[in-house]
Amino acid sequence: MVQCRKYLSNADCVACFTTAGSKIRNCSAANGARVIYDGCFLRYESNNFYDQTTLPGNQGLCENRTASQPTTFITAVEELLQDLQVATPKINGFFAASKKEIVGDSGEKVTVYGVAQCIETASESGCQDCLKPASNNIKVCLPGVYGRAIDAGCFMRYSDTPFFADNQTTNIDLFFENGSSNKKKAIIGGVVGGVGALFIITLFALLKLSRRPKEDLRGDILGATELRGPVNYKYKDVKSATRNFSEGNKLGEGGFGDVYKGTLNNGKIVAVKKLAIGKSPKVKADFESEVKLISNVHHRNMIRLLGCCSKGPERLLVYEYMANSSLDKFLFGEKQGSLDWKQRNDIILGTARGLAYLHEEFHVCIIHRDIKTSNILLDDDLQPKIADFGLARLLPEDQSHLSKKFAGTLGYTAPEYAIHGQLSEKADIYSFGIVILEIICGRKSNDVRNDLDGEYLLERAWKLYENNKHSELVDETLDPEDYKIEEVKRTVEIALMCTQSSASLRPSMSEVVVLLKSKGSLEHTPSTKPAYVHSDKKVGEEKSISTATPISKATVSISQISGR
């Protein structure tokens, strides 16, 4: 099946199809593939897929430029997306192009442009089912001035600049009793644009094209699935933004380098990470390819990479700035005890969603390798954003490992990865289970306390689970009226499921998300005792390894929870 956006000319539609056809042939050994561009969509499968609309892998794709009037712009985009989401399934052909103009409180005027489209072989309900997650995915891009949402059977796009002509807009007012789904006036053009193409590829090709005026705007036919690189900042600008990487601007230190607060020339506050990854030609090539990849990770629970700097004495990454810093500050630092039970629950669920996106929804699987509370940042609403994803792939290769180089923190690291170098997404799931326990009890995983029989956190959690005393694990600073014991019990058991010794017994992150969102007792409970990797150097001391040093050279040991 191939289908063009209806704001394209016939020539642009054919050009987009030609490009997509060339691209999809790279997947000819597979039993199915999809190519999605701004101008067209192409798919083949070994099975009938014409009624499919939403599938795992749906996502938002964003650009990093921020609107100059963010509050007004966000309002305008959200209203336009809501209108498109409601109207498009009701329109013959499942396509709508519209624009919305609103005036902010201070008198500023903002205009946004958007389209929504479902495959023409879908049902009205199927189109509705697809546009709902698409609308949620594309909102992740705000207050960015350009965003897209892609799925198996639908597409949404918004921009602060026009990408279709006025005579191609759809009068979606017809589908709302009060003129708009948001009861605010939108400026809408007159008629539905007549341009479009639908190709159904079976034993033959059916090409259906119609005419449109030559003076219409030329559509942007490519872009949606092309990886767009990050903004390239000049070294002198980043250096100036951080006051020459001054100690006063230093936010923290990590295994991959130091982090500094910076203020760009436009006033935007950012976090700048100075990477410690070497300067060989291979490192430079790896840096450019990996940064291009992770700059296209867009999810509400992932920290946003805004840009980078590779032309200078340092390798620098520029991220969005989180004023609330990291989760460990709220659990073990100066803000200890300030999170209530609901906030902790939201952080657990949001982090799980972010990891599920990395593992299963992004177009390649990214294994984080170093999930811990200091790598979970909190936004102004205390919602979690995972940081440092993808960076471990930039470390030098170490031939002494069975798979990839080790980059993790003992106390959070799965035993099969720390001891044998066996890396899979199940290593992240183990680390996430440890993080859950830390969030529940407000205690570091490797903090051995004499008043708790000198046990590591995971040891204590398993013992309390076996004796049905889950409530004793809860942080003493929490108000007992704020949580239910059954809810605590479920969450502890999910954490223990994630930390089972055998990686094959651990659930996937998408399964963890479902378990966290469901109510009642678990159908399956943890069946094996966890194993714990700790440092023999000093009891309770965290040992971070973020280089290619073989784990065998680090003094570590593995303990079964039944005893050390």
Q: Nearest 10 degrees: CA dihedral of 514, 518, 522, 526?
A: 40
- Closest by CA to 207, choosing from 474, 7, 451, 13, is 13
What are the start-end ranges of the H helices in 277-407?
A: 281-294, 327-331, 341-356
Q: Provide the greatest CA pair distance for the chain.
A: 80
How far is the C-alpha of 549 from the C-alpha of 555, rounded, in Å?
A: 12
Angle at 438 between CA 435 and CA 439, to 5 degrees: 85
Cβ atoms of 319 and 304 within 8 Å: the answer is yes
Residue 318 is inside which H or E element, if any?
A: strand 315-320
Please state, in angstroms and as integers, the Cα–Cα distance from residue 249 to each residue in 255, 262, 272, 326, following that order. 18, 7, 10, 16
Angle at 182 between CA 176 and CA 185, to 5 degrees: 80
Which SS3 state, helix, strand or coil, does residue 88 take?
Answer: helix
Give the sign of the dihedral formed by CA 390, CA 391, CA 393, CA 399: negative
Question: Which amino acids are annotated catalytic?
Answer: 370
Q: Nearest 10 degrees: CA dihedral of 89, 92, 93, 94?
A: -10
How far is the C-alpha of 462 from the C-alpha of 453, rounded, in Å?
A: 14
Cβ atoms of 458 and 434 within 8 Å: the answer is yes
In DSSP terms, which residues pair with 66 in a beta bridge? Answer: 144
CB neighbour class for 466 (10 Å; exposed up to 12, middle 13-18, buried from 19): exposed
Backbone angles phi, psi at 450, to 5 degrees: -65, -30
